[in-house]
Structure 1
Amino acid sequence: MQVIFKTLILNNFKSHRDITVNFGERTDITGDNAEGKSTVCEAPSYVLYGTDALGSKLDPTPITYEAEETKVSLLLEVDGKELMLGRSLKKNKTTYYVNDVPSKAGEFNEVVERLFDKDLFLSLYNPSYFPSMHWEKQRSMLLQYVTSPINKDVLEHMPDEQNKCLSALIKKHRLEDIKKIHAENKTTLDKKYIAAQSRTKTLKEQLDQLPNVGAPIESLKTELSQIDKQVREKESLLDKAWEKNQAYNSLQAKIRNLQEQVEMSKERWPLLKNERIENSCRTCNRPLDEETVKVVESDKENRIKEYRANHERLRKERDDLKDQLEEMEFVDATELRNEIRELDPKGTPLREAIRIHGQFERLQEQVSQAEVDEKATLESLNESIFILDSVKAFKAKEAELQGEKVQALFETLSVRLFEEQKNSEMKNTFEIELDKKPYRKLSTAEGIRAGLELRDVLSQQSELITPVFVDNAESITSFKQPVGQLIVSRVVAGQKLNIEGVDAE
């Protein structure tokens, strides 16, 4: 789109009561200070936005005289079609005009917004406007016309290992998500690695504190096995001796019991032997008949026979057991017990040595596993660190490539889009430089040249051509002809306001 200023009509606008400006391809505005040169150049931005050329609030009312109404009209040509826009202020009420037809503010603003973005227009119209914006707004405006390098292009400019690493990860996650994942991993693994190192160190210290056993464990086990075998053999003999002595003592107890029964039997014999046969009943003293007496005598004889048989049986059982006892042996196990008491403690140091051997082996296994865990944790930690470094390198390379694309738009200016932090992170910034000097430190002439080059880049990238206003042109001897209509304001001492529009031949 190409926008051309055709005619500007000022009525009671600041210092100008009634003035009409016919713009040419180049329009020179000359005159001494306070002749209203800048006021003429502020009028188009006032018509469009109610501001001055820097986008600040503007009071359009007369300065040295009074008037009921202030009115400014601007005839534009937009891609060959004319458009008249106007704005008037009367009693603090603003009236808008589109092609001389009064319009509501919303309708008027909609017409202007359809033409172009406010910041873009003011940046193209006034070379000082763009640098006056916040750096983030400047950066955003310039980059909207410069596409960021695609991931594939950035990766191709990176070392093979980082390229291979990020290529696989970017297929699953966004770069920022990769950074978040591995930043969290790094924090977790840092702590885990410290804990793994501490565990390995502790286990090694425990291993070093174990006493030196010296003899191989197989030798110790063989020696202990022999001692245990001897002890088991002697314990087996002791068990057998105990069984024999138990049988011996049991038999003795049976003999003593039978002997007591025999003695008791002997004591009963005189009573039975000397028992008298009475001729009368013991209860009622009535005489017994002969037959009854015989029965009583027969009963006594039977009891004597029974006694003798029982007494003889007891004696025989006793004597048989005595014969058995004589054939048995009572084993004295005292010496055997003493041998076991002497032999068993010999295995104690061997068992302790074997226990220490076992503890040593377990600790060795734990140390080995701890070292494996420590190594695996370190590998995971290093992997996350490598990925984070790769993300930083990616962003740095992306910034470099994007900077190159932006820089390629300019001939003399340098534009810095990023700055590297102490942690190697790339932080967004925006700085316009000329000969390595930032814009804010440029002279007036250098600032004009820088501003014109910047606005020409914006014009080319946005494909919008507008008039451009160069103020204080007396401070610069020459500058490159910008794209679009040129309006030059120059101070000429002692001269009244003069406006000349010149078209190309």
Structure 2
Amino acid sequence: MEQITEISIKEISLSGFRNQKEPVSFALGDVNCVTGHNGTGKTTLAHAVAFAFYGVTYFGEQKADRLISSESAGCEVKVDFTDQNGVLHSLIRRRFGSKTELIFDSFSVRQEEINRFICDKDTFLCILNPFYLTSFGEAKGRELLFRNLKTVSSEQILSAMSDSFKKPLEGLNITEPAEMLSDYRAGIRRCDEQLRILEAKRATLRETVQANNAECDKLNEQAEVSAATVHILKEKQFEGLNLEDFRKRREQLSEKLTSAVNSPTAVKAAALEERLKAAREREYVSKFSGEIAKLDTELTSLKGRYSALKQKLEGLKPGSKCPTCSVTLTDELYTCAAADIASELHKVIDSANGLAETKKEMLETEQKAKQTFDRFKKDDTEKLSAELDELRRTEDDSPEIMQREIEEIDMLLSRGLLSDEEFSELESEERSLAGLDAQIKKLREYSVDAQITALNEQAAAFENDKRRYTEILASLEEYVSKRTELLAEELKMPNVSITLFEPVKTTGELKSVFRFTYKGRNYAALSLSERTAAGLELCALMRRLTGLNFPVFIDNTESVAHFDMSSLSCQTVFLRMVKNAPLSVKSMNQATEPLKKAS
């Protein structure tokens, strides 16, 4: 079936619908005025049209049960209308209980079919009801408008832009500019974050260099103090000394010492020294140590034997068993056994006393032998020392004297005139100075130039990315601006403006909105008459965008002093409250009373 793009209602028939319990019909013309007191059924006609086509109220509410008269089991609404070709159609919707019946031109149809060959519910009600579109939430309102707006191609938008804005967008597939704006802003933020990180790293390296320089200065100060101390001690160390003379004297002594070591006297002295050393190291060797050790072992054994016999004797009593033969001791046997053990004890004591006396004699002999050895050792040592001293006295320059002089010269060449404390201080300061010089060298060799160069290259790359992203972002904003301008051309109305995009103040990103103004004023601040006028412009916009010419029912028109009929190019029904007046429908200046029941 051909889509119906124009509807002109000829007659509305009601039965059991709201306050119309009995069947009643109303004929409509191009311009109609429905008047009456509150509750007489003016808005019922608007509800009836919405119910017949979509089963909802004039305001799009799914409240079909409330539309049925409280005194009826169900309701029926019939709308007779002509289309753009002047063909007359009939649409009937019946509702009884939970069952709904929809008949179009005598054929039972489904709601989906009405939606297909007329339009969807929201589009129809936006044209029928001047207040319907403004009641939408942001998502629903934007979706409805964008669904009916003509598509603005990317080529159209780019052609409206200057070359400076078009160039950064070359090669980009612009599908969702809002998402792309968000992505590129995020890219710029990432670049800024990376640049902050890189700058922090460079600052850290610069701080490291400054810290190294400060440490170098500090170490240089310490090195200067150490160097000054070393200089003072060095000047004192060899002050007034002819080191060259001492070196020559040492060389002469070394040559003489080499010759002296190989002379007959030196050889004899070396032999005497060896003999003297051997005499001093000679130790006494005992001849009786083995015998004395053997006596100690025997004495230890006798001591154990004595302790065992004494224990037996002390444990021996009449009536006890003999520890030797295990016979029970009578008084007589006890006396004999005790006497035997006592006799044995005396033998052990006598043997021990004999061994102790022998050991004493051996120790005395051992002592005398050691004394004789020590006397001979002393005599030999003194004799050899005297011979060696006499031999050295006969020499003009003994090797020992020359060696001592060489050592003294070496000490002088090393320490100079410094005391032990001063020489220790000199060595300590020189070590400290060497350590300080090594630290200073290491700090001076430490370089961050390569690291800073690498960071600078990274920063330059991020700066280039940021610059490119910024150029693309500016071009995308211009793209969105031009698209908005082109879309706004379609949304242009005499007094009403619709805002679909709005920049976020903090970030500059575009956010989706759905906002109306009338003559520059926010919709929420408008009076009823201003809202009515704004709504009529919105109805006209929807007719223009969709190409659908459907009736408009204007409620509460008593609040509007004047209507510009030239802007109402569709079938119009004014709903006006007249106090204490019955329901009346007038068309084209002709009063129309309720008609007879529809046949």
Q: Residues of 2 paired with 1:385 and 1:378: CA distance?
A: 10
* Conserved 8 A contact 2:75-2:95: yes
Alpha-carbon deviation of 1:430?
Answer: 1.5
Alpha-carbon deviation of 1:211?
Answer: 1.9
Q: Residues of 2 paired with 1:9 and 1:210: CA distance?
A: 104
Residue type matched to 1:122 in 2?
Answer: L
Alpha-carbon deviation of 1:52?
Answer: 0.9
Change (3 A) 1:397 1:249: farther
- 1:342-391 Cα offsets, whole Å, 9 max, x none, are 8997987885676456335334x31x445445544554555565566556
Q: Which 10-residue stretch deviates more, 492-501 or 446-455?
A: 492-501
Residue type matched to 1:434 in 2?
Answer: Y
Matches within 5 A, 1:100-115: 100-103=106-109, 107-115=110-118
Residue type matched to 1:413 in 2?
Answer: V
RMSD after superposition? 4.8
Q: Does 1:361 align with 2:365?
A: no
Q: Residues of 2 paired with 1:196 and 1:451: CA distance?
A: 62
Change (3 A) 1:473 1:357: same
- Residue 97 of structure 1: which of 94, 99, 103 is its match? 103
- Residue 397 of structure 1: which of 472, 478, 481 is its match? 478
Q: Residues of 2 paired with 1:151 and 1:334: CA distance?
A: 105
Partner of 2:527: 443
Taking every aligned residue pair, what percent have the same amino acid on both sides? 19
Partner of 2:216: 210
Change (3 A) 1:147 1:92: closer
* Conserved 8 A contact 1:190-1:381: no
Alpha-carbon deviation of 1:467?
Answer: 1.4
Q: Residues of 2 paired with 1:411 and 1:487: CA distance?
A: 22
* Conserved 8 A contact 1:182-1:387: no
Task: List runs of 5+ in structure 1 lacking aligned partners.
Answer: 215-219, 221-233, 261-328
Alpha-carbon deviation of 1:123?
Answer: 0.6
Q: Residues of 1 paired with 2:452 and 2:41: CA distance?
A: 84
- Residue 121 of structure 1: which of 102, 121, 124 is its match? 124
Q: Does 1:417 align with 2:500?
A: yes
- For the residue of structure 2 that corresponds to 1:210, the secondary structure is helix
Change (3 A) 1:465 1:362: farther
Alpha-carbon deviation of 1:414?
Answer: 1.8
* Conserved 8 A contact 2:216-2:440: no
- Residue 25 of structure 1: which of 23, 30, 55 is its match? 30
- 1:215-247 Cα offsets, whole Å, 9 max, x none, are xxxxx9xxxxxxxxxxxxx9xx99xx8xx98x9
Alpha-carbon deviation of 1:154?
Answer: 6.3
Higher Rg of the two aligned structures: 2
Change (3 A) 1:418 1:177: closer
Q: Residues of 2 paired with 1:167 and 1:6: CA distance?
A: 57
Q: TM-score, normalised by structure 2?
A: 0.57
Partner of 1:491: 577
- Residue 478 of structure 1: which of 556, 560, 563 is its match? 563
Q: Which 10-residue stretch deviates more, 490-499 or 180-189?
A: 180-189
Partner of 2:516: 432
Matches within 5 A, 1:89-238: 89-103=95-109, 107-144=110-147, 145-147=149-151, 150=154, 153=157, 157=161, 160=164, 167=170, 175-211=181-217
- For the residue of structure 1 that corresponds to 2:567, the secondary structure is coil
Q: Does 1:461 align with 2:558?
A: no
- For the residue of structure 1 that corresponds to 2:541, the secondary structure is helix
* Conserved 8 A contact 2:130-2:535: yes
- 1:440-474 Cα offsets, whole Å, 9 max, x none, are 22112211221111122222122222111112222
Change (3 A) 1:182 1:155: farther
Q: How many residues of Structure 1 are paired with residues of Structure 2 in the alignment?
A: 416
Partner of 1:61: 68
- For the residue of structure 2 that corresponds to 1:429, the secondary structure is strand
Q: Residues of 1 paired with 2:460 and 2:160: CA distance?
A: 26
Task: List runs of 5+ in structure 2 lacking aligned partners.
Answer: 222-226, 228-243, 272-401, 417-422, 590-599
Residue type matched to 2:142 in 1?
Answer: R
Alpha-carbon deviation of 1:42?
Answer: 1.2
Change (3 A) 1:85 1:152: closer
Residue type matched to 1:461 in 2?
Answer: L
Residue type matched to 1:400 in 2?
Answer: S
Partner of 2:45: 40
